[in-house]
């Protein structure tokens, strides 16, 4: 836990970590499995992606024809605008071009566009990418990139985690479809959770076993032990996920759950097995379910579940009522304790003591299920 927190703190400062090709391929395939034409005739924008480095650009350029894209636009952020300063050296790819400009290379972003066959081999692929310097530094919030956003149908990227709230707001205000990477805890942000609750955003297909590995170029000592692996050159983040508003099959697979009675008999969790009831909350009418796989399938009231439930959330099976932060009645707690120990949370009573729980998502079984 300490390692994860440290990694989160460090990455809040440093946004420079790069997504691996197989992770992008696996995620995009999930949308294609559900709808093979999801990208057909569409303009895709990759707004935080320098094609010299980004596997997003590589993936979409290589699969341009297979996906049936109309246009691919990829923009990068100027090295001098990046929060994390690293020694900068333009690549051969850039310097060999007649329009290379040593100053602009540092202070301007770049735009890469793929739309037609330039090389004359009758195929549209990565060889046909054409680039220019942007007028500005490529900040996704700039007027220049907003205009590209407005032109696009679908926006895909791993955005800077430190600007995640702003990035989501930027997507939502334009009403665009998107597939982006973020931290699972971002689901609880006040800018994000209401969208999840209303089924306007959901989690994507996901990383293998919830572990995401990213490439970094430098600053290895920034990461806690066990986060950076020297042999692979990758950093491992637990708790990473994809956020999207494009449908995929996994989100329609209901969780297979036991009845309450069977949970008491067979649950693998000591907090449930052998018990006679699920703990009721003191300050909300509902029961505490500390593990997603311990949700009873035959309970019709409100249940509080961990945030990781979102990865298994099937909107056909459950509705989301809110989070503890919004729904916990703190007057009851203040009355019982005489004071409050921190912000709103759900409480249970154990051995006569009030216990403050981790943040919970409150859900209820859909009546039709
Ligand atoms: C987490 S990295 C991911 C890079 C790439 N999308 C990938 O997945 O390999 C986020 C990138 O966004 C860039 N960035 C940071 N702030 C930005 C901004 N305001 N506008 C556009 N890009 C930004 C960072 O420099 C970094 O390269």
pLDDT tens-digit map of 173-222: 999 999 999 999 999 999 999 999 999 999 999 998 778 999 987 666 66
- Percent of the chain residues past pLDDT 90, beyond the cut: 82
The atom of ligand 1 lying closest to the CA of 55 is 9
Model pLDDT, residue 5? 42
Pocket test for ligand 1, best of 22, 78, 160, 207 (most atoms within 8 A of CB): 160
> At residue 336, does pLDDT exceed 90?
yes
The atom of ligand 1 lying closest to the CA of 47 is 21
Q: Tell me how far the alpha carbon of residue 12 lies from the centroid of ligand 1, in angstroms.
A: 12
Show Cβ contacts of residue 68 under 8 Å, excluding neighbours closer than 6 positions: 37, 39, 40, 41, 42
Pocket test for ligand 1, best of 8, 12, 13, 15 (most atoms within 8 A of CB): 15
Rounded distance between C-alpha atoms, residue 286 and residue 362, angstroms = 8
Q: Where are the alpha helices (DSSP H) in 242-306?
A: 260-266
> At residue 364, does pLDDT exceed 50?
yes
Q: Tell me how far the alpha carbon of residue 16 lies from the centroid of ligand 1, in angstroms.
A: 7
Rounded distance between C-alpha atoms, residue 91 and residue 177, angstroms = 32
Q: Tell me how far the alpha carbon of residue 268 lies from the centroid of ligand 1, in angstroms.
A: 42
> At residue 43, does pLDDT exceed 70?
yes
Burial per residue of 287-304, b for 16 or more beta-carbon CB atoms within 10 angstroms, e otherwise: bbbbbbbbbbbebeebbb
Rounded distance between C-alpha atoms, residue 10 and residue 220, angstroms = 11
pLDDT in tens, 141-167: 999 999 999 999 999 999 999 999 999
Model pLDDT, residue 65? 97
What is the H or E stretch that residue 131 is in?
Answer: strand 130-133
Q: Tell me how far the alpha carbon of residue 15 lies from the centroid of ligand 1, in angstroms.
A: 6
Q: How many CB atoms lie within 10 A of CB 99?
A: 9
Lowest mean pLDDT among 85-94, 95-104, 156-165: 85-94
The atom of ligand 1 lying closest to the CA of 157 is 6
> At residue 129, does pLDDT exceed 80?
yes
> At residue 58, does pLDDT exceed 70?
yes
Q: Closest by alpha carbon to 154, among 75, 71, 76, 34?
A: 71
- Can you give the residue ranges of every domain in the chain? 2-252, 260-365
Q: Tokens 């909350």 belong to which residue?
A: 281
Mean pLDDT value of segment 89-111? 90
Q: Tell me how far the alpha carbon of residue 223 lies from the centroid of ligand 1, in angstroms.
A: 18
Are the C-beta atoms of residues 313 and 328 closer than 8 Å to each other?
no
Mean pLDDT value of segment 300-312? 97
Model pLDDT, residue 83? 81
Q: Tell me how far the alpha carbon of residue 67 lies from the centroid of ligand 1, in angstroms.
A: 24
Q: Tell me how far the alpha carbon of residue 54 lies from the centroid of ligand 1, in angstroms.
A: 10
Largest distance between two CA atoms of the chain: 78
CA angle 30, 248, 19 (to 5 degrees): 45
Q: How many CB atoms lie within 10 A of CB 213?
A: 19
Instruction: Determine the straight-line distance between the first and last CA of the chain, rounded to whole angstroms.
Output: 36
The atom of ligand 1 lying closest to the CA of 18 is 9
Pocket test for ligand 1, best of 77, 140, 157 (most atoms within 8 A of CB): 77
CA angle 5, 9, 13 (to 5 degrees): 160
- How is 188-243 classified by DSSP, letter by letter? GSTTTHHHHHTTSSEE-S--GGGEEEEE-SS-GGGSPTTTEETTTTEEEEETEEEE
Are the C-beta atoms of residues 84 and 57 closer than 8 Å to each other?
no
What is the H or E stretch that residue 110 is in?
Answer: strand 110-114
Token pair, residue 37, equals 């034409």
Rounded distance between C-alpha atoms, residue 241 and residue 183, angstroms = 6
* Local confidence band at 286 (pLDDT 50, 70, 90 cut-offs): very high
In terms of DSSP bridges, do strands 240-244 and 177-183 run parallel, antiparallel, or are they unpaired?
Answer: antiparallel
pLDDT in tens, 165-175: 999 999 999 99
Lowest mean pLDDT among 82-96, 310-324, 348-362: 82-96
> At residue 342, does pLDDT exceed 70?
yes
Q: Closest by alpha carbon to 70, among 163, 153, 180?
A: 153
Model pLDDT, residue 87? 76
Q: Whose CA is nearest to atom 27 of ligand 1?
A: 16
pLDDT in tens, 23-42: 999 999 999 999 999 999 99
- How is 157-186 classified by DSSP, letter by letter? E---GGGHHHHHHHHHHTT-EEEEEEEGGG
Rounded distance between C-alpha atoms, residue 237 and residue 3, angstroms = 10
Residues with CB under 6 A from ligand 1: 15-19, 48-49, 54-56, 77, 82, 138-140, 157-160, 163
Q: Tell me how far the alpha carbon of residue 152 lies from the centroid of ligand 1, in angstroms.
A: 18
Lowest mean pLDDT among 7-21, 287-301, 344-358: 7-21
Q: Tell me how far the alpha carbon of residue 77 lies from the centroid of ligand 1, in angstroms.
A: 7
Mean pLDDT for the chain?
92
* Local confidence band at 239 (pLDDT 50, 70, 90 cut-offs): confident
Are the C-beta atoms of residues 248 and 202 closer than 8 Å to each other?
no
Are the C-beta atoms of residues 255 and 25 closer than 8 Å to each other?
no
Q: How many residues does the chain have?
A: 369
């Amino acid at each position: 836990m300490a390692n994860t927190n440290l990694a989160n703190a460090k990455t809040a400062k440093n946004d420079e970590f790069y997504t691996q090709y197989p992770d992008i391929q696996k995620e995009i395939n999930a949308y294609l499995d559900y709808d093979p034409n999801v990208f057909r005739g569409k303009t895709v924008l990759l707004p935080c992606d320098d094609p010299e480095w980004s596997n997003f650009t590589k993936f979409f350029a290589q699969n341009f024809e297979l996906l049936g894209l109309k246009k691919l636009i990829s923009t990068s952020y100027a090295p001098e605008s990046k929060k994390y300063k690293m020694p900068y050296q333009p690549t051969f790819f850039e310097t060999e071009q007649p329009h290379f400009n040593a100053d602009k290379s540092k202070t301007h972003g770049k735009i890469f566009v793929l739309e037609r066959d330039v090389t004359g081999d009758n195929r549209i692929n990565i060889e046909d990418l054409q680039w220019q310097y942007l007028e500005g530094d490529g900040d996704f919030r700039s007027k220049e990139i907003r205009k590209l956003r407005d032109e696009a149908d679908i926006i895909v990227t791993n955005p800077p985690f430190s600007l995640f709230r702003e990035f989501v707001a930027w997507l939502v205000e334009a009403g665009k479809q998107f597939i982006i990477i973020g931290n699972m805890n971002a689901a609880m942000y006040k800018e994000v959770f209401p969208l999840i609750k209303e089924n306007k955003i959901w989690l994507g297909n996901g990383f293998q076993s919830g572990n995401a590995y990213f490439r970094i170029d430098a600053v290895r000592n920034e990461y806690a032990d066990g986060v950076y692996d020297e042999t692979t050159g990758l950093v491992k983040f637990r708790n990473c996920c994809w956020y999207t508003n494009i449908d995929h099959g996994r989100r329609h697979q209901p969780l297979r759950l036991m009845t309450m009675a069977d949970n008491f008999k067979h649950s693998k969790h000591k907090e449930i097995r052998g018990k006679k009831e699920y703990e009721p909350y003191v300050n909300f009418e509902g029961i505490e379910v500390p593990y997603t796989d311990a949700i009873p399938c035959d309970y019709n009231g409100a249940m509080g579940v961990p945030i990781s439930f979102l990865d298994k959330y099937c909107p056909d099976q459950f509705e989301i009522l809110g989070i503890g932060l919004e729904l916990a009645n703190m007057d009851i707690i203040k009355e019982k304790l005489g004071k409050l120990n921190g912000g709103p949370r759900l409480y249970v009573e154990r051995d006569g003591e009030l216990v403050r729980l981790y943040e919970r998502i409150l859900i209820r079984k859909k009546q039709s299920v």
